[in-house]
Amino acid sequence: MRHQVCIIGGGPSGLLLSLLLRRAGVDAVVLERRSRDYVLSRIRAGVLEQGLCDILRQAGVGTRMDREGFVHDGTIITAHGTTVHIDFKKLTGKSVMIYGQTEVTHDLYDELDRIGAPIFHEAEDVAIHDADTDAPYVTFSHQGQTRRVDCDYIAGCDGFHGVSRRSIPESVRREFEHVYPFGWLGILAHTPPVADELVYSGHERGFALCSMRNANLSRHYLQVPLTDKVEDWSDEAFWAELKRRLPPHLAEILVTGPSIEKSIAPLRSFISEPMSWGRIYLAGDAAHIVPPTGAKGLNLAASDVWYLSRALIAQFAGDGQLLQDYSATALARVWKASRFSWSMTRMLHEFPAEGEFLARMQAAEVDYLAHSEAAQTALAENYVGLPY
């Protein structure tokens, strides 16, 4: 088979790229290693930058988001005895949307189904060939048959463990990584959120985050050692520890209940350069990973997709400059967003091995944030999303 663009990876970034290209008349096919049910079962982030919301509306899949999502005009940061409300709307004129990644994926699937876009699920043994020529192709196994996609360009949206980044020669790739000495234990529960906005809490026992999916579905997180296992944490133990890490006025009103999902995720910062080689162009987790503290994972993938879709559309229209500049353009925003996620993580988590000096510096940072509108504006600008 032949398509102009072969997209490897059928998560939200790959699906969004396919839809944006098809809206512009560019023929794309998506290869996804997992089943559709598996993709839709993944529990992921739910904070959407205004830029991503605008892209979804432009792509024609923003109606349900606007109807069911929750607009947040700010967030609460509390640590070392100081609490500060960051008013996004006042400081930047922008907001964020609380709308689960699973719901975004549902909406993208529905629209791609409606327009008849080709998606191959359970595509196994995906391999990229001749990417450094003007005739690349991709092979994969599907339903017991070996298939081949001839294409002009390959978009690697297949995540950290996918084949796309590894298809760029090691002599070309430079990888930068920082692994944090802890993870996040997260639970999903049918309970109302503890506050109308997200609560980021730094505490001497470790970081905590109170998030939400809707008015009756909450997502909460605790910083835990990498040695902890999910089975070490009963629901009762989780709620008790969360209450310890919240300010008393929030701990008193926290509604608890049985978890419907529980998992531990390690934290890392990772960036691979360049984000293109030959006819391969990386987007999302295939090129970079950020700690979830700044809510940048899906949003950063979306900005990659925005740059890449525009570049590919322009390329097929006869202007190749955007595609030539894609890696440098995307990486400039990737590094800035990664800096923000890193700085939020450093400010609010416990790093026992670094001693009392870091704890005092964190307290000074939060105190400065509480009393400086300039500092609050800088945080708000990064949280709602830097411009594309």
Q: Decide if 106 is catalytic.
A: no
Catalytic residue chosen out of the listed positions 3, 72, 80, 288? 72
- Annotation marks residue 72 as catalytic: yes
Can you give the pLDDT at residue 37? 94
Residue 171 lies in a domain: yes
Whether residues 307 and 189 share a domain: the answer is no
Q: Which of 137, 180, 326, 383 is catalytic?
A: 383
Block residue for tokens 């989780």: 238
Position 213 confidence tier, pLDDT thresholds 50, 70, 90: confident
Q: Is 88 a member of any domain?
A: no
Catalytic residue among 137, 288, 292, 326: 292
Q: Does any domain span residue 90?
A: no
Q: Is residue 38 domain-shared with residue 129, that is, in the same domain?
A: yes
Residues 145 and 219 in one domain: no
CATH code: domain of residue 19: 3.50.50.60
- 292 is a catalytic site residue: yes
Whether residue 94 lies inside any domain: the answer is: no
Tens-digit pLDDT profile for residues 162-199: 999 999 999 999 999 999 999 999 999 999 999 999 99
Q: Assess if residue 237 is contained within a domain.
A: yes
Tell me which amino acid residue 162 is.
G
**45: pLDDT strictly greater than 80:** no
Which residues, 6 or more positions from 91, have their beta carbon under 8 angstroms from its beta carbon? 373, 376, 377, 380, 381
What is the model's pLDDT at position 206? 97
Cα separation of the two ends of the chain: 34
The answer on 111 and 13 residing in a single domain is yes
Same domain (yes/no): 239, 340: no
pLDDT band at 140 (very low <50, low <70, confident <90, very high): very high
Is-contact 52 96, C-beta < 8 A? no
Q: Are residues 167 and 315 in the same domain?
A: yes
- Claim to verify: residue 249 and residue 280 sit in the same structural domain: no
Q: Closest Cα partner for 180 from 380, 318, 350?
A: 350
Mean pLDDT for all residues in the chain: 96
Q: What is the mean pLDDT of residues 327-346?
A: 98
Amino acid 215: pLDDT:
85
Domain that holds residue 211: 180-267+350-384
d(CA 327, CA 244): 44
Domain count, the chain: 2
Options 109, 180, 200, 221, the catalytic residue:
200
- Is a pLDDT exceeding 80 seen at residue 44? no
Query: Active site residue: 80, 203, 296, 349, which one?
Result: 296
Residue 115 has pLDDT above 80, yes or no: yes
Give residue 202's pLDDT band: very low, low, confident or very high (50, 70, 90). very high
Q: How sure is the predictor about 28, in pLDDT bands with cuts at 50, 70 and 90?
A: very high
Domain co-membership, 153 together with 194: no
Asked if residue 163 and residue 289 are part of one domain, the reply reads yes
Token pair belonging to 325: 């500049």
On whether both 54 and 141 belong to a single domain, the answer is yes
pTM: 0.96
